[in-house]
Amino acid sequence: MIDYHLHSNVSHDAVGSLLEHARQAERAGISEICFTEHLDFYPSEDGLSCRTIPTQPELDRYLVELRQAAKQTPVVLRAGVELDYKPEAGRWVQELVDRYSTSFDFLLGSVHNVDSLGISDRDGAMRYFGERGPWQGCLDYYEVVEKAVATGLFDSFAHLDLMKRFRPENGELMMQRELRDRMEAILDLLAATGTGLEINGGGLIHDPREAYPSLGLLRLARERGVAILTVGSDSHRPETVGRHVADCISLAREAGYGRVWTFEKRVGRAEAI
């Protein structure tokens, strides 16, 4: 068993040290975990500078702490980040990825903001859809996702249908007409750039009560040639490491996939499921 999406107290919204998460993985019989700590970019209003959370010194400390934790557990620990892509921060994203090209094992892409609006918390999502409506809100989200995937920077992309988190009805909406066309274009880009698609168990405890992505979207991904799958719990505390990963693997099989992927120094390796 593996878990390729989890957060420790390195992330602003999570608790528990790296070693505490590793100890829980031991107890749960998980052989390999990858920490995907949040990495957020905040360009200045004048566009001349950009700060990050965590800062680069904090990222460096994270990597040192992970190496130390890895010596104290039989669980394989991989260093990763979940990079929240913002088009306006593109050049700083590229610079940071280049700087840490030999430090990270895995780079997970995601979109949590559209323009200045956060969409991954309930209040932000309700405000976002209140201003734009569900159709335009989904279109605008997928415009940013498409730009992120087109960079080719990421090893896998997280919670592709996040728009259903606080509006489960968006799950069906996203498979209709122009939105489906946009989704297919994104899946084609994933396939063309060799970027993976994540199956994220977090949706099973959120309002949709289904994984990100849905079975229908996962089957569509396979039809469009997306070959690489990663699986993760999206855990934010030690006691939930590995949560619903077995369900994610079952979903992959149901969609016709026979492998999931792990990464070391950004090089992927397929594992039979």
Instruction: Per-residue pLDDT tens, the chain, 273 aa: give them.
Output: 999 999 999 999 999 999 999 999 999 999 999 999 999 999 998 889 999 999 999 999 999 999 999 999 999 999 999 999 999 999 999 999 999 988 999 999 999 989 878 888 888 888 998 899 989 988 999 999 999 999 999 999 999 888 888 776 766 777 778 889 999 999 999 999 999 999 999 888 877 788 899 999 999 999 999 999 999 999 999 999 999 999 999 999 999 999 999 999 999 999 999
Q: Where are the domains of the chain?
A: 2-272
Q: Compute the distance between CA of residue 159 and CA of residue 117 in angstroms, rounded to an integer.
A: 18
pLDDT at 120: 82
pLDDT of residue 170: 67
Question: What was the pLDDT predicted at 195?
Answer: 98
CATH number of this structure's domain 2-272: 3.20.20.140
> What pLDDT is attached to residue 175?
79
Q: What is the pLDDT of residue 157?
A: 97
Q: What is the pLDDT of residue 168?
A: 66
Residue whose tokens read 């209140």: 130
Burial code (b: 16+ CB inside 10 Å, e: under 16) for 69-105 equals: bbeebebbbbbbbbbbbbeebbebbeebbeebeeebb
